[in-house]
């Protein structure tokens, strides 16, 4: 059937301005520059890349919280590309978000029960007082919290517990898709696995799909069915999880994998990929051609001239790299 979410050639460009003369437009930042992917029913798609690569902006665009420069977003078969915040509201029952910061994202003056129940109130689906209270208790139990915690305030909870509260709130309306923007990045490593496990449990019990955004490949490894790797506004590789970890094709994916801690110290010896060094270049002034070429150990002359297209390799994966697929001719050379 049709995918739950289909993002086609998504572009989000922000105008940039010279100094304080904000009326003088001097260019644009291509935060998201032609991104396409699908999330299928019951699937977790990991979206991975360094900070500033456009992965959060992609999430904001899907929620229609930032204007699109181009492209199309379809959710549950409906084109939502043109919808503003008001027209999106009924759809937000089906499309929810869990944010990175479990400290800043919960209203400190609200009791936990009211935080979890607020989406029901906003959408006018509380039912009777008793039903409302019972639903909140059910949601708290679902995320591994005690029902009596409804009467307490967010500051009384640890980071991991607060993220459980955010998750209870996000699933309150029975969404089909939850966008998770680095939902465990702010938590202690010891807590991360527990929260990741909760996401997986809820997926099985509630039939949820996730777009799971993360800055490294370690966190998404266990949750994702497929993984898309982003670099400076573009997807450079998308593949089923095991294929991506076993045989990464894009040099950037290989570099990200080299940075993932291996569970077996002996495996260190067989590490084949070089870790990427240096800060990613800025999206304000990205490198020509393949944006990755200044950091790529495999770069060729063509790489600075032409941006590689995302190209299907077999039927499950795609990669954007001149090393894979048909090699285009250098400028000034006749194509054979
Ligand atoms: Fe490296 Fe060239 Fe491939 Fe870009 S296109 S990743 S620079 S080999
Ligand atoms: Mg971000």
* Residue from 49, 300, 309 whose mutation best tests the ligand 1 pocket (most atoms within 8 A of CB): 300
Q: Where are the beta strands (DSSP E) in the chain?
A: 5-17, 25-39, 44-48, 70-75, 78-79, 95-98, 177-181, 209-214, 226-231, 234-240, 311-313, 317-319
Distance between alpha carbon 232 and the CA centroid of its chain, in Å? 14
Nearest one of 246, 215, 281 to 30, comparing CA atoms = 281
- Supply the pLDDT for residue 258: 87
Q: What share of the chain has pLDDT > 70, as a percent?
A: 88
pLDDT higher than 60, residue 66: yes
Class of domain 5-94+175-280: alpha beta
Model confidence at 281: pLDDT above 70: yes
Q: Is the CB of 64 under 6 A from ligand 1?
A: no
Phi then psi for residue 299, to 5 deg, are -60, 140
Q: Up-side HSE of residue 242: CA atoms within 13 Å toward CB?
A: 0
Which ligand 1 atom is the nearest neighbour of the CA of 250?
6
Domain limits, the chain: 5-94+175-280, 108-173
Answer yes or no: are the C-beta atoms of 159 and 187 closer than 8 Å. Answer: yes
Q: What is the mean pLDDT of residues 200-229?
A: 95
Quickly tell me which residue has 């899907």 as its tokens.
62
Span 213-227, average pLDDT: 93
Among all ligands shown, which has an atom nearest to the Cα of 99?
2
Q: What is the mean pLDDT of residues 230-239?
A: 97
- In this structure, the residue with its CA closest to atom 7 of ligand 1 is 293
- Would you state the pLDDT for residue 335? 42
Atom of ligand 1 nearest to the CA of 236: 6
User: Is the Cβ atom of 3 under 6 angstroms away from ligand 1?
Assistant: no
Q: Which residue has the higher pLDDT, 85 or 291?
A: 291
What confidence category does residue 336 fall into, taking pLDDT thresholds of 50, 70 and 90? very low
Interface predicted TM-score of the whole assembly (ipTM), two decimals: 0.97
For the residues 206-210, what does the mean pLDDT come to? 97
- Own/partner contacts of 97-100, CB < 8 Å, gap of 24 or more, are 97/59, 97/63, 97/170, 97/178, 97/179, 97/180, 97/181, 98/163, 98/166, 98/167, 98/170, 98/178, 98/179, 98/180, 98/181, 98/183, 99/166, 99/181, 99/183, 100/181, 100/182, 100/183, 100/185, 100/186
């Amino acid at each position: 059937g049709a995918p739950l979410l289909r993002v086609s050639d998504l572009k989000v460009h922000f105008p940039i301005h010279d100094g304080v003369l904000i009326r003088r437009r001097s260019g644009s930042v291509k935060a998201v520059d032609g991104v396409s992917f699908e999330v299928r029913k019951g699937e977790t798609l990991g979206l991975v890349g360094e900070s500033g690569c456009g992965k959060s902006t992609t999430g904001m665009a899907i929620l229609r919280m930032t204007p699109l420069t181009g492209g199309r977003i379809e959710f549950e078969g409906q084109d939502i590309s043109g919808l503003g915040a008001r027209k999106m509201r009924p759809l937000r029952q089906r499309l929810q978000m869990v944010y990175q910061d479990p400290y800043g994202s919960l209203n400190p003056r609200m009791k936990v029960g009211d935080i979890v129940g607020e989406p029901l109130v906003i959408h006018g689906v509380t039912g009777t007082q008793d039903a409302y209270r019972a639903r909140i208790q059910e949601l708290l139990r679902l995320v591994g919290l005690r029902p009596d915690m409804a009467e307490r305030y967010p500051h009384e909870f640890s980071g991991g517990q607060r993220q459980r509260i955010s998750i209870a709130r996000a699933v309150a309306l029975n969404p089909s898709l939850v966008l998770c923007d680095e939902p465990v990045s702010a938590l202690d490593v010891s807590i991360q696995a527990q929260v990741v496990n909760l996401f997986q449990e809820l997926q099985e019990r509630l039939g949820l799909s996730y777009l799971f955004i993360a800055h490294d490949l370690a966190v998404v490894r266990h949750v994702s069915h497929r993984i898309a790797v982003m670099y400076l506004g573009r997807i450079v590789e998308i593949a089923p999880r095991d294929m991506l970890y076993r045989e990464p094709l894009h040099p950037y994916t290989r570099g990200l994998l080299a940075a993932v801690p291996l569970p077996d110290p002996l495996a260190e010896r067989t590490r084949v990929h070089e870790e990427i060094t240096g800060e990613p270049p800025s999206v304000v002034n990205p490198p020509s051609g393949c944006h990755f070429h200044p950091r790529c150990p495999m770069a060729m002359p063509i790489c600075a001239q032409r941006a590689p297209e995302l190209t299907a390799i077999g039927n499950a994966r795609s990669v954007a790299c001149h090393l894979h697929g048909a090699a285009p001719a250098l400028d000034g050379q006749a194509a054979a």
